[in-house]
Amino acid sequence: MRTIHLAGWPHSVSALGFGCASLGSRISRKAGTAAIERALAAGINWFDVAPSYGDGEAEAILGDALAGVSVAIVTKVGLRAAPAKRIARVARSLARPIVSAFPTLRALTKSMRAQAIERLPLDPESIRTSIGRSLERLKVDRVAVLALHEPAFEDLRRDDVLRALEDLKRQGLVARIGIAGSFDDFCAANDARPFIDVAQFAISASGRCGAQIGSIATRKAFAVLHGVFGVKSPNDLDRSLRYAFGANPSGVVLTSSFTPDHLAMNVAAANETPDEALAAKIESRSRSESARG
Ligand SMILES: NC(=O)c1ccc[n+]([C@@H]2O[C@H](COP(=O)([O-])OP(=O)(O)OC[C@H]3O[C@@H](n4cnc5c(N)ncnc54)[C@H](OP(=O)(O)O)[C@@H]3O)[C@@H](O)[C@H]2O)c1
């Protein structure tokens, strides 16, 4: 696996990250555990999770599946899964095989899950409680990155929130602080507090990604891209992956890789030398297309 360096973290990290948003919801504990084992065997040591993922189950499943293996974990604070009634959990696990047999049902369950996620009111206490529970579920003493999860713009300006995050870093519970939301939110936060220096956001189809990654590098920050397969142009999946790695050659590209074939394809793309020229060409074409309307 091609690796890169994350300042403040003692080990090199894999250029491909494993996204756990579906772990415990679309993907059962058993299938998820097997997928995590495959990812570890392929050399992936960057795992992206959040308290809200997998209907609130993802962190605990990931913690159990890692079984003490030391990896870089990104977790988040700011969104949480609404408490599900036991009967709803049972109904969901019974429905899983039906949903996977009828892919059109997946969009419906996805939108139902989005409604079951609520915003955690942020203050120093709620932030400390949230990371404390995350560390417990993940069975680790610290994580590589704690990111504000889709923060409200006003939270990026709150002194008490920002100070609480800095304290966690000072205490050694988290190595780096980030924003998992939009590029603009990251810039606003990094302008106010340079210690917020990890930017996680969706790759954009607008042809601006290269410029965004350039700005992150100028700020000496670290970039994580997701949404690789959501980009309409280019629509060829292999090319989408090569575009993402070419656009973010010194950072992490995150994908959901629960299916063995997907994992193999994503690992193969991560192992190629990032093609920055290809990414620049795709972006330039995409900009000219949007200029033409
Ligand atoms: N605000 C945030 O912080 C934020 C927002 C969105 C996402 N994320 C993170 O990013 C991760 C990835 O999310 P995403 O939205 O970018 O999803 P994605 O990686 O684009 O995955 C979407 C779908 O594409 C499939 N897939 C993966 N590799 C493929 C391949 N090579 N060919 C064809 N299909 C493939 C996946 O299937 P399988 O999983 O079955 O393999 C999944 O069903 C999430 O799990 C989460 O950790 C973070």
Domain residue spans of the chain: 3-292
Nearest CA to ligand 1 atom 35: 262
Distance 21 CA to ligand 1 centre (A): 8
Residue 210 or 184, more confident: 184
Nearest CA to ligand 1 atom 44: 19
pLDDT mean over 272-277:
94
Selection from 31, 89, 78, 30 nearest residue 55 by Cα = 89
Q: How far apart, in whole angstroms, are the C-alpha atoms of residue 61 and residue 123? A: 27
Nearest CA to ligand 1 atom 47: 19
pTM of the model: 0.91
Tens digits of per-residue pLDDT, 128-148? 999 999 999 999 999 999 999
Degrees to nearest 5, angle at CA 184 with 179 and 186: 25
Say yes or no to pLDDT of 159 above 50. yes
Tens digits of per-residue pLDDT, 28-45? 999 999 999 999 999 999
228 lines ligand 1 (CB under 6 A): yes
20 lines ligand 1 (CB under 6 A): yes
Distance between start and end Cα atoms, the chain? 40
Degrees to nearest 5, angle at CA 244 with 242 and 247: 105
Distance 69 CA to ligand 1 centre (A): 23
Selection from 199, 195, 205, 261 nearest residue 228 by Cα = 205
* Class of CATH domain 3-292: alpha beta
pLDDT mean over 80-90:
68
Q: How many beta carbons lie within 10 A of that of residue 67, not counting itself? A: 11
21 lines ligand 1 (CB under 6 A): yes
Mutate to test the pocket of ligand 1, among 177, 243, 255, 259 (most ligand atoms within 8 A of CB): 255
176 touches 186 (CB < 8 A) = no
In this structure, the strands spanning 196-202 and 222-226 are parallel
Measured in whole angstroms, the distance separating CA 260 from the mean position of its chain's CA atoms is 19
Predicted pLDDT at 109: 63
Predicted pLDDT at 107: 64
Predicted pLDDT at 90: 61
234: confidence class by pLDDT, cuts 50, 70, 90: very low
